Each structure stands twice: as C-alpha cells, then as structure tokens.
Chain A
Amino acid sequence: MSIEDEYNEYGDISEGSLLGRTFKRWTAKIKEINKKYSQPRLKMTPLVKVSLLVLRLYLIMLVIILVYKFYTVVSFR
C-alpha cells in the first residue's frame, strides 16, 4: 500500500467520520429542538392566525422586492 493510499484510507475516513459525527450531532440537536417545540404553546385564535398569515405575506413581498433588486442589478451589468 502506497503512502497516498494509506492517507486516503485512514486520513479521509477519520476526517470524514469527524465531519460526519459533527453533522449527525447537530442534526440530532436540531431534531430534538424541533420536537421540543413542535406544539406551539400559543393559542391559535383567529387573530393570531391572521397575524401570522399577514407576516408570511409581508416576508414574501420583501423576498420579491429583493429578488427584483438583484435582477435589476444583474441585468444592468
């Protein structure tokens, strides 16, 4: 086995496994947080639902404006 092969076999695997372990740990943590807060404690009254809907629409509008700005900048260039 050449040094290069040995590096690929051990170096890559150990690096990959470290990254993999870190990735898995973070994914598990995020899943745990999602599970912990999966049931919103706030009572979903019509007022709350409407407020959240308006908020979503507002954010979509902002995204459209940002995309339009990006488009005008790119097309201007």
Chain B
Amino acid sequence: MQLGANFFYKYRRFVKWLSLYLTLAGPGIIVMVADNDAGGITTYAATGAKFGFNLIWFIILLGPAAFAVQEMCVRLGAVTKRGHAEAIFDAFGPFWGWFSLMDLGFLDFLTLISEFVGMTAAMSVFGVPPVVTVIAVCILMMLIVMHGRYWTWEKLVLLFCGLNLIYIPATLLLHPDFGAIQRSFVPSFPNGLTPEIFFFLMANIGTTIAPWMLFFHQSSVVDKGLTEKDIPFARWDTLIGSFFVVLVAAFVMILTGTLLYKPPNGIDIGNAAQAAHAIIGSYPLVGAALAIGLFDAGLLGAICISLASSWAMGEVFGWAHSINNKISEAPMFYAYYILSLIVAGTVVLIPGAPLVLITLFVQVIAVTLLPAALVFLILLLNQEELMGKYKNTFLQNVIGLSIVTMIVVLSTLYAISVLFPEMFHQ
C-alpha cells in the first residue's frame, strides 16, 4: 500500500514537473534546432559525402560544447532580464556595444541571405522558381510573428523544429550500416589529420556555434519572461535541444555518407540541394526529404536570425521589442524584422549577385563577432554583483574557458582557411 502511494506521489510529481517543463520549454530547443540552418545542413551533408561516417564522433562532441555556451546565455537572460546586446552596452560601454550591435546586424543580414539561398535551392529541386519561394517565405515569416503572442509564435516554430527530424526516417529508409555507424563513435582519422579533414572539422564548429545564437537565446529567454526559478527547466530545454542538434547533424552525415561517399576519398558537394538533386533520381523519397529538410532548416534559421537582430536593435534603441506586442505597439521592431527579410530575399533574386562570396564572407565576419561575444559572456557570468548566486562556479569557468578557447582558435583558423583556401587543400 505504502509502495503504491509512493509510486503515485512520484508519478504526480513527475507529471507536474513535465507540464511545467512543457510550458517553459521553447527557447533552448528552437535555438539549437535552428542552429542546423541551411549552412549547417550543407556542411554536414558535405562532411558525410566526403568522409562517410568517419567524423560523426566529432559532431557528438560539439553537442556538449554548444550546451555549455547556451546554458550561460540562459542564466544571464533569466537573471538580468536583458538581451545580450543590451547587456554588452551596459557592462562594457558604448565602444564594445556599438561594435557588437553593428557586427551582429551586418552578420545576421549576410546569414539571412545565405538562408534564402538554401531555401530557394531546396525548392528548385521541386521546380519552384526562386521568386515564388522568396515571396512565400516572406509572407509566411510575417504571418508567424504578427499575431502579437509569443506563445503562438513559439509553438508554430516548434512545429518547424519537428519537421527538422525528417532526416531520421529518410536515413532509416536507406538501411544504413549500423555496425559501421557504431564504430564511428570512436574518435579516429582514417587517413590521418590531413589539412582537408582539419578544414571540415573547423567548418563543423563554425556552423554549430554561431554568434546569433547567443543573442537570440538570451533575448528569447527575456521575451518569454523566464526568471531565476525557471533556470533548471531552461537548462533541460537547452540540453534536449543540444541532443536534437547532434542527432539531426549525425543523420544528415549518415544519409549522404551512405549514398554519396565512395572510399577512400569521398566526393565534394557544393551544397545540400546539389546532394538532393543527385539522390532524387534513384531515391525519390530520400532526395525529397533532404530538400524539404534543407528548406525547413533555412526557414528556421531565417526566423531566428532576423529576430535576433530585431530584438538586439530594439533593446539598444529603446523600441518596444516583444513578440507579445502588436505591430501598432512595436512598429520599429517589426519594421526592422520585415525590412531585413525583404532586402535579403531581394538580394538572392538579383541576377549575378555574388551569393557564393556572401556565403563564404559570413564565416569570416562571424569570427570578428564570436570571440568578442563569448569573452563578454564569460566576463558577465563572473560578476557577482550582476549574477549573484548564479555566477559561474570554478568548474563552469574551466569548462567554459576551455570551450571558448577551442572555438576561438578553430573558428579563427577556419576564417583564415576561407580567405586562403590553398593552406588547407592539398
């Protein structure tokens, strides 16, 4: 009888915890899944086509690193009730504030263009002209934010996050070699640490931890109204999100690794849509899933990136900047959001626009902002006056600093390799 009562009590407690978690969940899952944006999916697809399953272990290692960084954003947002841009202005003054804001605005705009490139390329697999894709995406993205309720926006975006899992059934249709996948969990470099493998490792880091994620996550925590007592739930949210980011990335690698990888050297693919085109002839369902997933990834990335900038601008310029506001209540916030979408979409439609150059340039500009944003994050998290009992512990600092150092060094090398490709290609 006592055992039954205990079980019932624990069950009720778990149900209560779960219902509370489901209410508070959102920002962590969204930011992490949106991290697998069009650029991310392309990088994972290219890695799978080039190295098969051999680098899956590396993507698994990136999950905890992304979690550690984003967890700090959650704490900072929940404690200070400020977005990352405003927090930088407040703590470091106008010089670093303007530097971060301008860099973020410019970088997000370029990244937004690359998301549109991904979406139009994905829809071209189904014969949809780019102009139709751009117009449809702009209308869809306006409709998603304009009803004036954060809750509705979040649940709609979570639906798109669910669609990101399309790579899992698509890959399972191919009956991949699970024995080989299991063996790939052990870190190894089949042909040694060649400059080419090093380039791909850096590219994977560059796509897994991006500057907009810090700004977006912190601002969405604030917009959702999470407080100190919600931090444990927000941590779970981020942890589950980091699990999904790794899961999707690994399945994309398995998909292209199964279909396109030819040992020992693999093949080079320019983008995920190119892979979808190559696959759709022999595996229509899998090719279509790859294209749908790429479109969804671009859409999620575009939603989060345009909001990250709009939130940051709103925080600094003092505009009303909540998704809970109607258009009439926050006209500048929505104007910035819509204008950035329309301009980025239009750039993609300009004949002869240097889209490849823009995509490469994103990686270089990201490196000017990422180290600064990460260093600011660590410094802010160590301020007792600001964070109180939520400041970083010694262990969190050791982990955080190690990850930040690794990210800064490797992403800088990646930017250099983008500028001087001959250094990393044989």
Residues of A within 8 A of B (CB): 29, 33-34, 37-43, 48, 51-52, 55, 58-59, 62, 65-66, 69
Q: In the complex, what distance in Å separates the CA atom of A39 from the CA atom of B385?
A: 16
Q: Chain B residues with Cβ under 8 A from A33's Cβ?
A: 89, 94, 97, 316-318
Among A38, A39, A52, A59, which residue has its beta carbon within 8 angstroms of that of B368? A59
Contact between chains at B92 and A69 (CB < 8 Å): no
Contact between chains at A42 and B89 (CB < 8 Å): no
Q: Which residue of the partner chain A has the closest CB to B103?
A: A59
Contact between chains at A69 and B419 (CB < 8 Å): yes
Minimal beta-carbon separation of B387 from chain A (angstroms): 12
Q: Chain B residues with Cβ under 8 A from A34's Cβ?
A: 94
Given known pairs A34-B94, A38-B94, A40-B91, the reply for A48 and B371 (CB within 8 Å) is no
Extra inter-chain contacts (9) besides given A33-B317, A42-B91, CB under 8 Å: A33-B89, A33-B316, A37-B94, A39-B93, A40-B91, A41-B386, A59-B368, A65-B416, A66-B419
Minimal beta-carbon separation of A76 from chain B (angstroms): 12
Interface window among B243-251, B285-293, B322-330, B372-380: B372-380
Given known pairs A33-B317, A41-B91, the reply for A58 and B416 (CB within 8 Å) is no
Contact between chains at B375 and A55 (CB < 8 Å): yes
User: Is B90 located at the chain interface by the 8 A CB criterion?
Assistant: yes
Given known pairs A37-B89, A69-B419, the reply for A42 and B372 (CB within 8 Å) is no
Contact between chains at B94 and A43 (CB < 8 Å): no
Q: Chain B residues with Cβ under 8 A from A58's Cβ?
A: 371
User: Is B420 located at the chain interface by the 8 A CB criterion?
Assistant: yes
B222-250 interface code vs A (CB 8 A; 1 in, 0 out): 00000000000000000000000000000
Minimal beta-carbon separation of A51 from chain B (angstroms): 6
User: Is B364 located at the chain interface by the 8 A CB criterion?
Assistant: yes
Minimal beta-carbon separation of A12 from chain B (angstroms): 27
Q: Is the interface of B mostly helix, strand, loop or mixed?
A: helix
Minimal beta-carbon separation of B29 from chain A (angstroms): 31
Q: Chain B residues with Cβ under 8 A from A66's Cβ?
A: 364, 419
Q: Which residue of the partner chain A has the closest CB to B415?
A: A62
Minimal beta-carbon separation of A31 from chain B (angstroms): 10
Contact between chains at B93 and A40 (CB < 8 Å): yes
Contact between chains at A43 and B416 (CB < 8 Å): no
User: Is B152 located at the chain interface by the 8 A CB criterion?
Assistant: no
Q: In the complex, what distance in Å separates the CA atom of A30 from the CA atom of B375?
A: 25
Minimal beta-carbon separation of B313 from chain A (angstroms): 11
Q: Chain A residues with Cβ under 8 A from B364's Cβ?
A: 66
Among B318, B367, B375, which residue has its beta carbon within 8 angstroms of that of A51? B375
Contact between chains at A69 and B420 (CB < 8 Å): yes
Q: In the complex, what distance in Å separates the CA atom of A55 from the CA atom of B367?
A: 12
Q: Chain B residues with Cβ under 8 A from A40's Cβ?
A: 90-93
User: Is B19 located at the chain interface by the 8 A CB criterion?
Assistant: no
Q: Which residue of the partner chain A has the closest CB to B385?
A: A43
Q: In the complex, what distance in Å separates the CA atom of A59 from the CA atom of B412?
A: 11
Contact between chains at B372 and A59 (CB < 8 Å): yes
B81-99 interface code vs A (CB 8 A; 1 in, 0 out): 0000000011111101100
Q: In the complex, what distance in Å separates the CA atom of A69 from the CA atom of B94?
A: 30
Minimal beta-carbon separation of A14 from chain B (angstroms): 23
Minimal beta-carbon separation of B231 from chain A (angstroms): 22
User: Is B383 located at the chain interface by the 8 A CB criterion?
Assistant: yes
Q: In the complex, what distance in Å separates the CA atom of A48 from the CA atom of B385?
A: 15
Q: Chain A residues with Cβ under 8 A from B412's Cβ?
A: 62
Minimal beta-carbon separation of A40 from chain B (angstroms): 4
B360-398 interface code vs A (CB 8 A; 1 in, 0 out): 000010011001100100011001011000000000000
